[in-house]
Every structure is written in structure tokens, then in C-alpha cells.
Amino acid sequence: MPVVTLPDGSQKQFDSPVTVDEVAASIGAGLRKAALAGKVDGELVDTGFLIERDATLSIVTERDPEGLEVIRHSTAHLLAQAVKQLFPEAQVTIGPVIADGFYYDFAFARPSTPEDLAAIETRMRELVAADMPVSRRVMPRDEAVEFFRSLGEAYKAEIIQSIPAGEQISLYGQGEWVDLCRGPHVPSTGKLKAFKLMKVAGAYWRGDSRNEMLQRIYGTAWPDKKQLDAYLHRLEEAEKRDHRRIGRELDLFHFQEEAPGAVFWHPKGWTVFQSLISYMREKQTAAGFEELNTPEVLDIELWRQSGHAEKFGENMFTTKTPDERVYALKPMNCPGHVQVFRQGLRSYRDLPLRFAEFGKVHRYEPSGALHGLMRVRAFTQDDAHVFCTEEQITAESVQVTRLILDIYRDFGFEDVRIKFSDRPASRVGDDAVWDRAEAALQEAARAAGIECELNPGEGAFYGPKLEFVLRDAIGRDWQCGTLQMDFNMPGRLGATYIDEHSHKRTPVMIHRAMFGSLERFFGILIEHHAGRLPLWLAPVQAVVVTITDRQDDYARRIGESLKNQGVRVEIDLRNEKVGFKIREHTLQRVPYLLVAGDKEVQANTLAVRTRDGKDLGVHAVESLAQRLLQEISSRGRHVLED
């Protein structure tokens, strides 16, 4: 006679074991119809799961994050069933849920075509219309191996063979289709109503380039058509905002094969890049950080001591000198900052010490993972480290957190989520040290008045961290800033200070990055603003446009004056129609177009237009310069439009 406790605290008693579906039905027909799965004592299960003892239960619907995951996983199985019906010779491998969708890998005899995708999607819709029940059964491991071998599914048999002997294997079936899966899945295929197949790509079996190449079909799935359409619209908008395309159009940067994963900055792009550094330098200097610079090449032994060689060795660029000494290009700046701390005798009176560096780092990323500015091999970190006592952790962390959030607001990011990432499985330091570090960071978050989502097991190998996630103009999330609590690395590298009792102590090290990678942050900014960077960041802030050559001298004089006052301005004296010039500079996303004709020359004025096509009227040159400078310094407020 199990007693089922529901999320609101109410309880239902049943005379015999009961399924999740039956509990939902006892609550209401609407809930039963909406149910996709259940959570029994916190474990996600099918609606057919049998509750045999007292338990807590929440019914999972499409409104729950878990419900969306169940929809996507089930749609991956729907895809596999459709592929096997259309292409019986294909072999299935794995089909997991990923961000915004799913994929499934297949061994095909020939490459898939766009026509294949259309046919597969049509068959999937037919399977949805059939509304086939989805059922689960359990089979001993060895029996499951033979079962899939009998179906000719060698990849599935190999997967099952890698599972320890004696394990029970769960299989899910819908119609004639059976697949290996832990589940849970939707009660029937009719629940899967909003999906689309997106593309086909190559993928190596088990991710190993020595194995055979498979075909990976990507798809997306949502609870309803409205959400699917909104997602597809976001993708269209993201394509328009692609920083790689905009970077070419605005002549900001480029990449080429001779330096994979490294940026060739053009003058305009470098201007913006240096503006980011200048802005950050100003902010962190005001916050008490001292800028330093450390070598890019260091002996591998230092990276062994810090733990990076063991953790990141495969992603580090190394070289051996003629005397057999091995060096590494730094993948991060932390060990170098510890070396600066170790120079001279440090006292508790010196703490906190705040070191900052715009450090160039190098990490080997697989060529297939490289993606414009978003994923590179050589990048610049706005890295900083605070060396402090345990008593100073809260105050320092609160200051850094507030600084990070303040900076994001200046760049137009108001929607920021913060994740608390605790100890990963692979880490340095004992549990007692991790307990102290996690407790200290949690206390700092409370003191800063911020709410954190738990991101279990995603801390750095040396300490827990806060991750700052920005939401951009089209709803995408970008993890940028971090604040990491490190009770391990200073001790590993021999950093000490003398406390008030003349004893040697190991400082706490707080790692801090606000942009993370300047290259990546630049890419995010381009896509967030669709290339229309705010005035203070724009590579060209204004252009003086003449109507005829009679205004050339006037335009030169005005342009030089604005340049001397600190405005990034260009002068367009080309023998072209003014409409053509305005259109061209509008496409270049120049914030302000300053037009000079005969009337403007006589009155010492300029006609002002924005890149969005607004006519701001005629402004006196002197007041226009003042208002441009005011808007640049305000970093946000559109002074000229007020």
C-alpha cells in the first residue's frame, strides 16, 4: 500500500503498487495527458514505472526542463526508427541529447543527401501520427549482445559488451523498432510533434580518428511548433549576426591556414581590441589591481608542479631545445603570477595583492573545434589573481563579483546568470581543502547577494568557481567571466607569507577573469550588437561626407579637429553621389554620418544621420564635437538623440 507524496506536500495512498501514469490519472485527466515522465525520489523514470513503496513523485510535463530532455531523447529514437525503415542496411550507434536538440550517428553505405533528410523527416511524422506506445524491457547483458548481433547491429553489440558483465540492460521499443537506452522516454510517439532535422556531418566512431567515419544527423525538438519556430528564427538571426561574416564585411580580422586558430587583426579590429584592453585597464586599476607581464614560454617542470601538465598536457604546445630541455607555451597565466608573488618576503600586511595581466596564452584545440573568434588556439586573457588570507576572501570576492556585473552592464548585458561549480572528479588537493574552498566561495556569493545555480562537478581542477553566463540579444547564453577559489596551487608552487605571529602561511589565490578570452568576447559583442557596436567601441565612430568637392577643405578641417579631440573619424571626399556614400557607410555600421553641403559650410554646421537612418537635424560643429565626446565617455547613453 504505497503512499505517494506530491510536490505540494499532499499524499495519496494506493491499495497496491501503482504506475506514474496511474498516479497522474488519479490527479486529473489533463495531467495524465500532459505527463511525459515522472521523478520518483528524485530519479527520472517512465510513466510506466511501478511505484511499490512509499515515495515522493513529481509528474514531468513539457513545461519542465526534464520534459524537454525526454522529448529530445525520444525524438532521437524516432529518427533512428525512421532511418532503419528507409535504409535497412544502415547500422545505428548512439543518439544523445545536446544543447537545443539531439543527434544520432549511423553507419551508412553512402553519403546522405538533403533529399534523404527530407524523406527521413517525413517518415518520422508518419510514425508520430501512428501514436505507437513506447515500452521498456530489461535483458541480461550477454543476451542483449546476442540480440543486437542477430539484428546485424554490430555497433550496439560492441557498446553493450563494454558494460560490466552481469549488468541488466534496458531496451526501449516502439512498433518493430528496439533500441538500447537507459531512458526514460515519452509514453508514445504521438507526444513528439515539433522537430526538424538540421544537417548531416561526419563523426568518428567513439570519437577516435583511427576508427571508421560515421554519418551524424543533427535535429532539434521542442514541445510545440511555436517554440520550434522561435528557435529556427533565432538560428536565422544568428546567421545574420555571424561574427566571421561581419568581421570580413567590416574589415576587422581574418584567419588563414598558415596560422590555424590564430587571429590576423586588421587596423579597425585592432582598434576595437585595444579599446577593450584600455577599458578593462581603467576598471581594474580603479579596483586596486596592479598590471604585470609574465613570460609566454616556461619550463615544463613548472607546469608539472602546478598540475597543468597532468591535466592539460595534451593541449599544451611544447618544444625541446638542443640541450634537451622541454619548454611549454603557457596555456594560462596563474603559475607565472605565483612566481611574481614569490619574489621577496611577503607579509600579511601586504595582502591582499591583486595582480592582473593581459596574457597571451596558447592551447591546442582540434582543428574541427576551431570557430572564428569563439574557439581559437592563441588568445588573450584578462587574467587576474588575488593573493589574500582566508579572512579576506569574502570581501575580495564580493568586490570582484560586483566589478564583473558592472562591466557587463557597460557592454549591454543585463541578463547574467551565475553558476556555482563544485569539485570535479579529476582534481588536486584533498577533500578537507576542497570543503574549505567551497564553503568560502558559497559564503562570498551570499555576501554579494547573488543567487547561484549549482553546476555539479564542473569546478577547475584546483578549486571551485563561479561562472558568469551572459544572455545575448537573441537569447543565447555565453559563459564568460569566472571567479575561482584556489587553496591548492599556491602551496604546490611554494608561495608563502608571514602572518602576524611570524609564522609562514600559504595564501589563498582567487583567480578572476571578466571577459575570459578577449577574442571570444569580441566575437560575442559583434553578434550581440549585430556589428552595430556602441559609439565608444566602434572602430570608426563618425564619417564626414561631402556632397560636392566644394566642401572638401571644410570636411578636412572638421575631420582633423574631431580626430584631435579623440573621435575616431574618417573623411569621405570621393566623387560619388552623397546617397551612395551614406548607404556604403551605413552598411559599414558607422554610428554617425556627418554630411557637409554648401549650407553647412556657410553656417559652420553639419547635418547628422545615424546608421539606423534617423535624421538628427543640423548641429553646430562645436556643440556636435562636445556631444560626441560626451556620448563616447558615457558608454551607452545616446546623447545626440536626446
Rounded average pLDDT over 437-461? 86
Domain 3-61 belongs to what architecture?
Roll (3.10)
Determine the CATH number of domain 253-528. 3.30.930.10
- Residue 165 binned pLDDT confidence (cut-offs 50, 70, 90): confident
Contact (Cβ atoms closer than 8 angstroms) between residue 356 and residue 393:
no
Of all helices (H) and strands (E), which one includes residue 228? Answer: helix 225-240
Do residues 128 and 189 touch, judged by C-beta distance below 8 A? yes
Give the pLDDT confidence of 281-307 residue by residue, as tens digits.
999 999 999 999 999 999 999 999 998
Per-residue pLDDT, 114: 84
Domain 542-641: give its CATH architecture: 3-Layer(aba) Sandwich (3.40)
Per-residue model confidence as pLDDT tens digits over 44-93: 999 999 999 999 999 999 999 999 999 999 999 999 999 999 999 999 99
DSSP state of 206: G
Residue 466 predicted with pLDDT over 70: yes
Q: What is the 3-state secondary structure (H, E, C) of 35-51?
A: CCEEEECCEEECCCCEE
- For residue 378, the Cα-to-chain-centroid distance in whole angstroms is 18
Q: Enumerate helices (H) and strands (E) in the chain, giving the number of each.
A: 20, 35
- Does the pLDDT at position 364 exceed 90? yes
pLDDT at 399: 92
Highest mean pLDDT: which of 451-465, 473-487, 603-617? 603-617
Write out pLDDT tens, residues 168-212.
889 999 999 999 888 899 999 999 999 999 999 988 888 888 888
**Contact yes or no for 287/356 (Cβ under 8 A):** no
**Which residues are catalytic, by number?**
334, 363, 381, 383, 385, 465, 511
Higher pLDDT, 319 or 112: 319
Q: What is the pLDDT of residues 319-346, one digit of tens each?
A: 999 999 999 999 999 999 999 999 999 9
Is pLDDT of 639 > 70? no
pLDDT at res. 637:
60
Give DSSP secondary structure letters for 271-318.
Answer: HHHHHHHHHHHHHHHHTT-EE----SEEEHHHHHHHTHHHHHGGG--E
Tell me the pLDDT band of 642, cut-offs 50, 70 and 90: low
Is residue 541 helix, strand or coil? coil
**Residue 152: DSSP 8-state:** T
Name the β-bridge partners of 420: 454, 466
Write the CA distances from 321 to 256, 295, 298, integer angstroms. Answer: 28, 17, 12
Cell of 225: 511548433
Q: What is the pLDDT of residues 207-255, one digit of tens each?
A: 888 888 999 999 999 999 999 999 999 999 999 999 999 999 999 999 9
130: enclosing H helix or E strand: helix 114-130
* Position 636 pLDDT exceeds 70: no
pLDDT surpassing 90 at residue 427: no
What local confidence, expressed as pLDDT, does residue 428 receive? Answer: 81
- Between the alpha carbon of residue 381 and those of residues 143, 342, 508, 524, the distances in Å are 53, 22, 21, 15
pLDDT classification of 449: cutoffs 50, 70, 90: confident
d(CA 45, CA 260): 46
pLDDT in tens, 126-154: 999 999 999 999 989 889 899 999 988 88
The x, y and z cell numbers of residue 527, run together, are 553578434
Going from N- to C-terminal start, the domains of the chain cover 3-61, 66-238, 253-528, 542-641
- Asked if 512 and 467 count as a contact pair (C-beta separation under 8 A), the reply is no
Q: Which residues on adjacent β-strands are paired with residue 484?
A: 465, 511
pLDDT (tens digit, 9 = 90+) per residue, 555-603? Answer: 999 999 999 999 999 999 999 999 999 999 999 999 999 999 999 999 9
Q: Domain 66-238 belongs to what topology?
A: Threonyl-tRNA Synthetase; Chain A, domain 2 (3.30.980)
The closest of 293, 271, 289 to 280, measured between CA atoms, is: 289
Q: How far apart are CA 103 and CA 96, in angstroms?
A: 6
pLDDT at residue number 361: 96
